Structure 1
Amino acid sequence: MSNNHNQYTIALAGNPNTGKSTLFNLLTGLRQHTGNWTGKTVAHAEGFFDYKGQSYQITDLPGTYSLYSNSADEEVARDFIIFAKPDVTLVVLDATALERNLNLALQVLEMTSQVIVCVNLMDEAKKKGIQIDIHKLSQKLGVPVVPISARNEEGIDQLLDTIDQMVRGDIQTNPLQISYNRTIEEKIEKLVPFVKQVIGDHYPARWIALRLLDGDMSLLQSLQKEPRQFLKEVPHYACNCSTKSI
């Protein structure tokens, strides 16, 4: 979560080529820098913006198709959402490939309730005759869904207002919980109490139980380490800051 009440943290997640970095650049302008995660050859960008008297620090996570730690990129994105506990996680989806992109969104919803889904490239979807019922999608997912076109700067005001409402506590989410087959659900039910005994309520017990059932050894290793290490960075190799505010 944010280090103080004056600055909130945002994670920006999404599949590759969804326009995630375009949105990041639009929000932060020149107030951004880049570096590598500690001990990882995985680059990341971090930026800042202000809105309605609030300051935000936003981290552009590596573009991934899942968060199952099959690669360094996936592990970094997963660990940031779990251990850094961002105040808001923005999941950017490609409006022209919604079904494929929703896989990542559903995984994020299992990890945190503080989620806003951004359906980007709405202009491209319109050209292809694709219609998306944003309201119904929001009802199904249980979190706010905002249609945007980052490169055309469309829908950004609505997105910023939604972020503002979420950090102020004016939005209550009810994330969709995926139901697995009976065998898996029974195993989850048995494992969750043991997980809570070890980690308490600090991390999502159901999600961790799922990852343990899947044999995710890298998560076990991450849990055994000092969580704050995932927030540390190596010295930045680029920095270009200004006082620009949204």
Structure 2
Amino acid sequence: MSEYYRIALVGNPNTGKSTLFNTLTGLRQHTGNWAGKTVELKEGTFEFKNKSYRMIDLPGSYSLYSNSLDEEVARDYVLFEKPDVTVVVLDATALERNLNLALQVLEISKNVVICLNLIDEAEKRGMKIYEQIFMRKLGVPVVKISARNKTGIPALLDTIDRLIDGVIACNPNTIKYDAETEANINYLETKLIAIFGDRLPTRWLAIRMLDGDQSLIKAIEDNYFGEEVH
């Protein structure tokens, strides 16, 4: 068992992700580059229920499709570093725009908590969000918070703690495509499983390869000692 449980924070810019990071880690944080990239990552630590956590505040990203260096760093960290829990911070006032990133994370990682931030602003606008419906639709825990006002923080930490302990389980729902696309995904996934086993999310890799994601293919080769994927 590692000294710390690692938590990755993922979210669009301006969702309050860094506010949550500062709320949880306080002065116990530092900044540095990761994996030879010029993009800086913030890391901090905190304690909860006799467990030590290291939280990584990944660059704000609109997707994990590597359209920018920030998105590439966020994608590679979740994919290759395999944090114990990935917390996806969404702006509760703009869920339609934010959910795209959440769905992409769910394709890569199983241990995910969806964090609906700015819930106070959403309620001021008369918005009612039923997190139980979100949980059923997504297959992972959903927690409403206001990082700025520290509302819902205990519930978020308790959810992370129970996820680490295996008290609750994540079962992300898989997006299904048309029959032809699914057949192509299944064919590629069979090949990828033979190469990577369970080290990488092979269904997601197959989808990205069908989309021609050359950046991802290069990242896989770099991280797996030149293994080529055909």
Q: Shorter-chain TM-score category?
A: over 0.9
> Do residues 23 (structure 1) and 9 (structure 2) align?
no
* Aligned with 1:67 (options 58, 64, 67): 64
In structure 2, stretches of 5+ residues that fail to align are 226-230
Partner of 1:218: 215
Q: For 1:1-246, list aligned pairs within 5 A.
A: 4-226=1-223
Q: Look up the equivalent residue of 1:24 and give its one-letter code.
A: F
Residues 227 and 92 (structure 1), Cα distance of their counterparts in 2 relative to 1, 3 Å cut: farther
- Give the Cα separation in 2 of the matches to 1:60 and 1:196: 31
RMSD (CA atoms):
1.2
- Give the Cα separation in 2 of the matches to 1:128 and 1:136: 20
Q: Look up the equivalent residue of 1:13 and give its one-letter code.
A: V
Q: Look up the equivalent residue of 1:92 and give its one-letter code.
A: V
1:227 CA drift (Å): 5.7
Runs of 4+ more than 6 Å apart: none
1:5 CA drift (Å): 4.2
1:223 CA drift (Å): 1.2
1:96 CA drift (Å): 0.3
Secondary structure at 2:94 match in 1: helix
Aligned residues: 225
Secondary structure at 2:60 match in 1: coil
Structure with greater contact order relative to length (CA < 8 Å, sep ≥ 6): 1
Q: Look up the equivalent residue of 1:148 and give its one-letter code.
A: I
- Give the Cα separation in 2 of the matches to 1:126 and 1:52: 31
TM-score, structure 2 length as denominator? 0.95
1:113 CA drift (Å): 0.8
